[in-house]
Chains A and B, each alone.
Chain A
Amino acid sequence: MNYEAVIGLEVHVQIKTASKMFTRVAAGYGHEPNTLTDPVVLALPGVLPVMNKAALDAVIKAGLMLGCEIAPLCKWDRKNYFYPDSPKNYQISQYDQPICLGGSVEIELPGAARNVMGEHKRIPLTRIHLEEDVGKLNHGASDSLVDYNRAGTPLMEIVSEPAMHAAEEAFAYLTSLRATMIYGGISDCDMEKGQLRCDANISLRPVGETKLGIKVELKNLNSISFVRDGIAHEIRRQHALLESGGTIVQETRDYDGQTGASQSLRSKEMAHDYRYFPDPDLMPVKVDEVWKSRLKAECPELPFDKQRRFLGQYEIPYTITSVLVWDRELSDYFEEAAKLSGKPQATGNWIVNDLLREVSVARIDLAQSKVRPAHIAELVKLIEAGTLMNNVAREVFAEMFTSGEMPGIIVEKKGLKAAPTDLGDLEQWCREAIAASPKALAEFKAGKDSAINAFKGPVMKAAKGKANPKLVDETLRKLLTVL
C-alpha cells in the first residue's frame, strides 16, 4: 500500500526580553546556576506574577508577521502538573484563548539545482500562545539538581496544522520560521541554547485517506537537521511497521540525533489532566487596534517577500538573493551599498563572494567589519569607471578590509590607478606586442579570435598591470583590423 505521512510541528521559541515573563529579574543564558532568580521565579510563599509587556508585544508582532489573527484579549491560564523544573507546579500559559490564531509560514522546497528556485508553499498555523519556560534538571549519579535560571523566561509555542508531508518540508518550515523570528527581533533562535525547540507529531495514512492516522510525538529534536532526520526515521519506522501488519501505538518517542534511533518515552495512557483554569492572579489584557497597528508598523519585510523584490528590482541572480535575504542585516547592507553604487549586480557579487568570505575568515560579524556599504559602493564605481581593474580591485579590497580606508584613497596612495587613457603609450605597447608574436597574428587573421589574448599579457606587463583591459582589447582590435 502507498502511505502518506502527515506531520505537524510544535515549536517553542524563547522570546528575547530583558526580564522574565512575570517578574523583573533578568532573563539570560550561560549564567551561574540559580543566579537569575527572585522570590517570584522560585515561587516563594506569597509572590504574585506581573506580566512582561515586552513579551506580549513580541508574540503579537510574531503573529502579525505570520498573518495570524490577534485575539482582542490576552488571557492567562494555569496548566497544573508536578515536576521539579516547574517551581509553582503549574505553568502560566494560554489554553482556550491563544493570543494568535491561524496564520501561516511560507516555505521553499529544494529546487532542481542549487541555482534554481524551488517550489513555494504556505504551511498553515493552528495557533501561537505565550507562556513561561521551566527550569533545567541536571541528573547526577545519586541526585538531581535544578537550575531555575531558565524558569520564567518568556516562551511562545507555535503550533502548525498537520499539513506537512515530508521531512524536507519540516526542515524548510523550521528554517523559514527561525529566519522570520530572527528578522522580527523576536528571538535569536539558537537551538544549542534552547532558544528554539521542536516537537513533531507524525502519522501515516493510506494515500487518498482524509482521516488522520495514529500519531507519534517525537521529542528532543535539538537541531533543525535532527528534526529532518528524526521525522524521516519515524516515517520509515511507521511504514515498516504498517507494511509488516503491525499497528502504530500513540506514544511519545525520544529521537537520538547521534545514533539515529528512537525509543518510546511514554504511551497515551499516562497522559496528564492539566486542570487548566484561568489564572486568578493575572487580569486579562485588552489588545486594541492602536496597539496592533503600532506593532504592525514595526514588522519587517519577510525574507521571501524581500527575495521576490530583490529578483525584480535589482535583477540579481537567485543564488545571490538566497544568500542575502536570510540575514536581515546583510540584506540591509546590500541595499544600502547598491543604492550608493547604482550597480546592484556587481555590488551583490562583491558582498556575497568577497566580503562574506573575508568576514568568515576573520571570524567576525558583519557589523564588526570595517568595510561598510560606502566602501563597497565606491569600489564598484571605480571598477565601472575603468579606474580600477578587477585584479587590482581584489588587492584594494584586502587593504580596505584590514585598514577600513576608502578604496579611492587606497588607489591614490598606492598608485594603483589603471593606466591613464594615454593612447600614445597604449598604442605603442600594443604595436610592440603584435610585432613580437607573428604566430598569434597569423592565427587571429585566420579567424581564431582568442588568439588576441596572446598580445594582452605583454601589454599589461609593459603597463605594469595598470592598463584598463577593456581599452587594451579595443586598441588591439583597432590595430589588428588595419594590419
Chain B
Amino acid sequence: MSDELYFKPLTELAALLDTKKISSVELTRSVIARTKAVDARVRAFNSYDEADALAQADESDRRRAAGKARGPLDGIPVGFKDVIAVAGQPLTASSKMLANFVSPYDATVTQKLKHAGAVVWGRLNLDEFAMGSSTENSAFRATCNPWDLARVPGGSSGGSAASLAAGEAIATLGSDTGGSIRQPAALCGVVGLKPTYGLVSRYGLIAFASSLDQIGPFTRTVEDAAVMLGGIAGHDPLDSTSYETKIPDYRGELKKRKGPWRLGIPKEYFGEGLDPEVGAAVENAIAFYRERGCEIKEVSLPHTDYGVGVYYIIATAECSSNLARYDGIRYGHRSKEARDIIDLYFKSRAEGFGAEVKRRIILGTYVLSSGYYDAFYLRAQKVRTLIRQDFLNAYREVDAILTPTSPTPAFKQGEKSDPLAMYLCDVYTIGVNLAGLPGISVPCGFSSGGLPIGLQLIGQPFQEAELLAIAHAYEQGHDWGERHPKL
C-alpha cells in the first residue's frame, strides 16, 4: 500500500484530518501535485481550478481549527464529472457545444457536498453528453486507462474513474444512465455506485435520459462510497423525481449488517460474449460468498435480451428532447455561418455536436415521430416494466443479484468503431437503470494482462444500506482495491 496521501481511502484521510495529523491544504496539494504529474498521460481532467481548490481546503482547515468541522467529507478533494453544475466553473459535457459555458448555479449534489465541507476539485472528462462507454466520444480528449494507457477507462464517466484510479482525486462523482458509473469503475479497478433512481437529486446534472440518469460516487472502498452517498442522497424539492425517504447512516449500517445473504445469479448474464477471465473472477466471488454462508441461487431475468434494445429507444427518445435546448440562441456554440433562424439551428447543432450525439438525437427523434411512437416508444416502456418486474420477482427469493459488471476488461482505444459493439459493453448494467435499481461495481480481480475486473451487485430499491453491506463483506476479504496502477 502506498504512503502517498492521494492513494489513501477517504475514510482513512478523514481520520487523519480529524486527528490533525494532516491538513486539507496538505492533502489538496498532494492531489494537485499528483494530477500535474500524471494527467498529461491519463487525460482525465477537462479543467481544474487549483487556486479555488486550495482556498476551499484552507477554509476547511480553519473550520476544523475552530472546532467546526462538518464530518468525514470536510476537507476531502472530490472530482466532478463535467456534467454536474458548479457555480462559477465550466460545465462542458465534453462537448464543443458547451466548450465555453460556465455554470451560474450549483447542482444540488454540489450544494450538499459544499455544505459537508468537501473541496470541489476539477472537471472530469466523459463521453460527450454522457453518451458512450469509452470516453472516446469526448470532443476534447480521449481519457486513458491508468492501468494501460493504450486502453479506454470505460465510460461515460471515464474521467471520474481514471482520475480516481490514478490518484488525482480522493473521490469523484459520475452519472450513470446505462452503466456509466459501474462500467468505468470496473475497467479502472475502483468502486462505483449507481443509487436507486430518485435517491440522489438530478438538479444540476446535464440530462441525457431523464428517467434513467442518476448521480453516484466513485471511491476507493465501499465504506468511502457509503460516506459519499450519505453526503449526496436525499429528497430535493427542485427535483420532482427525487424520492422522500429517510436517509440512513450508510457507513454505520455497514457494521450492523452481517448477512448471511441470499444472492441471485441470473443465468442470462453468464452467456455468450462474457470474457472467460471475467467469468472466472466473478465465479471466485460467488465462491467467496458461498463460503461465508450465503445462499447462492440461480434466478432468471427472462427479459434481459430486450434490455439493450429498450434502452436505446427510451434513452435516445429522451435525449432527443433534452438536447433540443442546445440551439445556440441563449448560450453555447453558435455558428457564425448562419443566414436565418433555421440555418442557425442546423449549423450550430451540426458544428456543436459530435457523431454519437447526433446519431442518438436522430434515433430518438425517429422513435417519437408520429406513426412510430406506439411501435417503438410505447412498446419499449411496456417492456421496461417487464424488465423491472423480472428483478422484483427475483427479489422474492434473494436479497441481491450478483453479475459481472462488464463483459470484458478494458479494451483498446479505437477497438470498437462499430456503435453496436460499443452499445453491448453495457449489456449487464443497462437493466439496472431500466428497473431504477441500485447497483455497485467492486474490484474482484485482474486479468492475466493486469487489467482490473469488476463485480456487480444489484440491490433492491432504496436498499443501498444492504447493498453496500454485501459489497463491503466481499471487500473485507480481498485487497484488489488496494493495488494501484504504475504511472
Contacts and interface: CB of A to CB of B under 8 A. Distances in A.
B104 A44 contact: yes
B103 A44 contact: yes
Contacts of A51: 240
A90 interface: yes
A98 to B, nearest CB: 18
Given A89-B325, A283-B241, A46 B206 contact: yes
A275 B369 contact: yes
Interface residues of B, number: 44
Interface stretch (B4-12, B145-153, B280-288, B327-335): B327-335
Contact of A42 (B107, B206, B327, B330): B330
A295 interface: no
A55 B206 CA distance: 27
Interface string A263-302: 0000000000101110011110000000000000000000
A420 interface: no
Contact of B238 (A50, A80, A146): A50
B240 A283 contact: yes
Interface in A71-125: 78, 80, 82, 84, 87-90
Contact of A82 (B207, B210, B238, B345): B345
Interface string B302-332: 0000000000000001101100111101110
Contacts of A80: 320-321, 324, 368
A89 B23 CA distance: 48
A275 B365 contact: yes
A46 B368 contact: no
A88 B241 contact: no
Interface string B184-222: 000000000000000000111111011100000000000
A39 interface: yes
A43 interface: yes
Contacts of A30: none
Contacts of A283: 240-241
A46 B370 CA distance: 28
A23 B48 CA distance: 31
Interface in B229-243: 237-241
Given A44-B331, A275-B365, A281 B85 contact: no
Nearest to B209: A280
Interface in B62-115: 83-85, 91, 93, 98, 101, 103-105, 107
A309 B324 CA distance: 54
Contacts of B239: 48, 50
A23 to B, nearest CB: 9
Interface string B347-377: 0000000000000000001001110010001
Given A82-B324, A89-B324, A275-B370, A46 B207 contact: yes
Contact of A87 (B202, B325, B369): B325
B202 A48 contact: yes
A46 B205 contact: yes
A184 to B, nearest CB: 27
A47 interface: yes
B420 interface: no
Say whether chain B's binding surface is mostly helix, strand, loop, or mixed.
loop
Contacts of A78: 321
A49 interface: yes
Interface string A213-240: 0000000000000000000000000000
B324 A90 contact: yes
A48 to B, nearest CB: 5
Contacts of A89: 324-325, 327
Contact of B330 (A43, A46, A47, A82): A43
B103 A46 contact: yes
A45 interface: yes
Contacts of A87: 325, 330
B368 A45 contact: no
B273 to A, nearest CB: 30
A48 B238 contact: yes
Contacts of B421: none
Contacts of A42: 330-331
B51 interface: no
B106 to A, nearest CB: 10
A277 B377 contact: yes
B206 A48 contact: no
B103 A45 contact: yes
B240 A50 contact: yes
Given A277-B317, A280-B211, A45 B240 contact: no
A146 B84 CA distance: 27
Nearest to B237: A50
A89 B205 CA distance: 18
Contacts of B320: 80, 275
A48 B203 contact: yes
Given A275-B321, A277-B321, 6 more contacts: A42-B330, A49-B240, A78-B321, A276-B368, A277-B373, A281-B240
18 contacts: A39-B105, A42-B330, A42-B331, A44-B104, A45-B101, A45-B206, A46-B107, A46-B205, A46-B207, A48-B207, A50-B237, A80-B324, A82-B327, A87-B330, A89-B325, A276-B373, A280-B211, A282-B241
Interface of A: 39, 42-51, 78, 80, 82, 84, 87-90, 144, 146, 273, 275-277, 280-283
Q: What are the 9 closest A-B residue pairs judged by CB atoms, nearest first? A: A89-B324, A280-B210, A275-B368, A280-B211, A43-B325, A46-B204, A45-B206, A273-B370, A46-B85
